[in-house]
A and B are shown apart, each in its own frame.
Chain A
Amino acid sequence: MSEDKFTFTVDGIEIEAEAGQSIIQACDAAGVYIPRLCYHPDLEPAGHCRVCTCKIDGRRSSACTMPAAHGMVVESDTAELNGDRRILIEMLFAEGNHFCPSCEKSGDCELQALGYRLGMVAVTLPYLWPERELDATHPDIFIDRNRCILCSRCIRASRTEDGKTVFGFEGRGIHLRLNIDAKHLDETTLAAADKGVHVCPVGCIVIKRTGYRTPYGNRQFDQAPIGSEIEARRARPKRGVESK
Chain B
Amino acid sequence: MSGVQTSQGVRKIVIDPVTRVEGHGKVTIRLNEAGEVEEARFHIVEFRGFERFIRGRLFWEVPLIIQRLCGICPVSHHLAAARAMDAVVGVDKVTPTADKIRRLMHYGQVLQSHALHIFHLASPDLLFGFDAPPEQRHIIAVLNRFPEIGKWAIFIRKYGQEVIKATGGRKIHPTNAVPGGVNQNLSVENRDVLRKEIDQILAWCGAALERHKGYVAANQALCRDFANFKSNFVSLVGPAGGMDLYEGKLRAIDPAGQMIFDDVDPTAYRDHFIEEVRSWTYLKFPHIRSLSREDGWYRVGPLAQINCCSSIDTPIAEAARREFVAENHGSPVHATLAYHWARLICLIHCGEKIKELLFDDDLQGTDLILQGERRPEGIACIEAPRGTLFHHYTVDEHDQVTSANLIVSTTSNNEAMNRAVKQVAMNDLSGREITEGLLNHIEVAIRAFDPCLSCATHALGQMPLIVTLEDADGSLIASRVKQ
In contact, B65 and A211 (Cβ under 8 angstroms): no
Chain A 8-28 interface 0/1 with B at a Cβ cutoff of 8 Å (1 = within): 000000000000000000000
A143 to chain B, nearest CB (A): 11
* Contact flag A215-B175 (CB < 8 Å), given A102-B68, A136-B58: yes
* Contact flag A217-B64 (CB < 8 Å), given A134-B400, A136-B400: no
In contact, B169 and A217 (Cβ under 8 angstroms): yes
Within 8 A of B (CB), among A201-244: 208-209, 211-218
Q: Give Cα distance in the complex from A175 to B190, angstroms.
A: 50
Residue of A nearest to B174 (CB): A216
B68 to chain A, nearest CB (A): 6
A-B contact count (CB 8 A): 54
The reply on A142 being an interface residue by CB < 8 A is: yes
In contact, A101 and B68 (Cβ under 8 angstroms): yes
The reply on B196 being an interface residue by CB < 8 A is: no
Which has the most chain A C-beta neighbours within 10 Å: B168, B179, B183? B183
Chain A residues near B175: list those with CB within 8 A. Answer: 212, 215-216
**Chain A interface residue count, Cβ-Cβ cutoff 8 angstroms:** 18
Chain B 164-176 interface 0/1 with A at a Cβ cutoff of 8 Å (1 = within): 0000111001111
The reply on A137 being an interface residue by CB < 8 A is: yes
The reply on B36 being an interface residue by CB < 8 A is: no
In contact, A101 and B64 (Cβ under 8 angstroms): yes
In contact, A215 and B61 (Cβ under 8 angstroms): no
The reply on A162 being an interface residue by CB < 8 A is: no
In contact, A212 and B168 (Cβ under 8 angstroms): no
Chain B residues near A215: list those with CB within 8 A. Answer: 168-169, 175-176, 183-184
* Contact flag A208-B183 (CB < 8 Å), given A101-B173, A102-B65, A216-B175: no
In contact, A136 and B399 (Cβ under 8 angstroms): yes
Within 8 A of B (CB), among A89-110: 99, 101-102, 104
Chain B residues near A101: list those with CB within 8 A. Answer: 64, 68, 173
Residue of A nearest to B67 (CB): A102
In contact, A208 and B68 (Cβ under 8 angstroms): no
In contact, B61 and A208 (Cβ under 8 angstroms): no
Q: Give Cα distance in the complex from A236 to B431, angstroms.
A: 83
B230 to chain A, nearest CB (A): 42
Q: Which 5 A-B pairs rank lowest in CB-CB distance, beginning with the nearest?
A: A216-B169, A215-B184, A136-B398, A102-B64, A102-B65
30 contacting pairs across A/B (C-beta < 8 A): A101-B68, A101-B173, A102-B64, A102-B68, A104-B60, A104-B64, A134-B56, A134-B57, A134-B58, A136-B398, A136-B400, A137-B398, A142-B399, A208-B58, A209-B179, A209-B399, A211-B58, A212-B60, A212-B64, A212-B175, A212-B178, A212-B183, A213-B369, A215-B168, A215-B169, A215-B183, A215-B184, A216-B168, A216-B174, A218-B184
